[in-house]
Structure 1
């Protein structure tokens, strides 16, 4: 999330990095385009140049560029004095060649990781990943609702917010537990699962928190969290049957 979220939402979202650690798979991996970080760096530099320390930033960037070019020029004259083209032209050519080679390498690396994911993506994992997306969407919806409230709309406040957050915490625990269990069974197909604590879920507690007034915002959020938990419980039972 781009802005600073409220304290009770911190740590609730299941990030891509955490998801990859839990599954030991390149889940939601995206192709790295080398021009993107360069553009981001350029935007940051321009932003700082427009700030109060603009002159200092310009000086540092220019100094780094000149220093790098001088070092490159010295290396060429010492070890490749047979090259006749100007060193600045050679530097540009090498940068373009290096950038193209790097992008090709990143593409094939990304395709390889996609193949690994495809070969290990079980039906249970697909459903759990979908539930993670739904879970994260609830948190994002709450964050957007908070922004609308902070913009001067107090009528959109989520009632009984503490209960909603508690339900999300319970759902998060179940999702993490299910993902850990799926990974154990996937990576140890002949292993008899003995870690029974992984199957202890909080569904009963979450069900007890469910409210009847589904028309209210907090009721809708609690019911959505409950539905995710039910899906997770179903997948957990399927995983247990694989023992």
Structure 2
């Protein structure tokens, strides 16, 4: 990714911090990191590090089994089944219980998001996704151009990047404002100036470049800003 695209996305951690909600939270599946780890081990085992990888892997397995066997003999010597079988059963049980815990935690966090979801927040989250999609599309286009396809270079790149920066700032302001109103139902809306910096500029760009691709996208952002302002007025009337 080129330097001018760095930092333009609103990542999941930042989005959760801005909204104070676990939005876009994904269920942790224990088998996924295990598969990734196994893939790395197999990949390195096929290379020049094969002997080292096999030695380290066998050392970890044997050491774990020996340590587990010693603990069983010292503290649970009444168990009659083989220690290796008990290790397998214990590992599976811990894995299942941990996965259940992650599932319950994910369900609770998802319920929290649903209970606090507002019309404006739904619009903003959707536009954050579109914002990220535009950045991804530009990055892919840059990679294609870097591969030697000079004919795919993006016209008015600087203008698009500036529009992305402006839109990111506006989305951040909108998300902060939505959180204030959501968490303070009786808050008197006096923060419309949060949009004062960029909204007039976006209006001018919308009129002058509405026929272009990035102008159409800017128009979407402009509409989101208006939607959020309307939602702020709606929340004000509900809280009064």
**Aligned mate of 2:216, from 210, 223, 232:** 223
In the TM superposition, 1:1-243 aligns within 5 A as 5-195=1-191, 197-209=193-205, 212=209, 214=211, 219-243=212-236
Q: Distance in 2 between matches of 1:57 and 1:8?
A: 40
Contact 2:209 2:215 in 1 (8 A): no
Contact 1:174 1:229 in 2 (8 A): no
SS in 1 for 2:27: coil
> Which deviates the most, 192-201 or 76-85?
192-201
Extract unaligned runs of 5+ from structure 1: none
Q: Distance in 1 between matches of 2:104 and 2:233?
A: 37
Extract unaligned runs of 5+ from structure 2: none
TM-score normalised to structure 2 length: 0.90
Q: Distance in 2 between matches of 1:167 and 1:221?
A: 8
Q: Distance in 2 between matches of 1:136 and 1:105?
A: 31
1:103-142 deviation line (CA, Å, top 9, x unaligned): 1111111111111111100111111111111111111111
Contact 1:135 1:228 in 2 (8 A): no
Contact 2:18 2:172 in 1 (8 A): yes
Shift in Å, 1:237: 3.8
Q: Distance in 1 between matches of 2:194 and 2:210?
A: 32
Q: Distance in 2 between matches of 1:51 and 1:185?
A: 57
SS in 2 for 1:242: helix
TM-score normalised to structure 1 length: 0.89
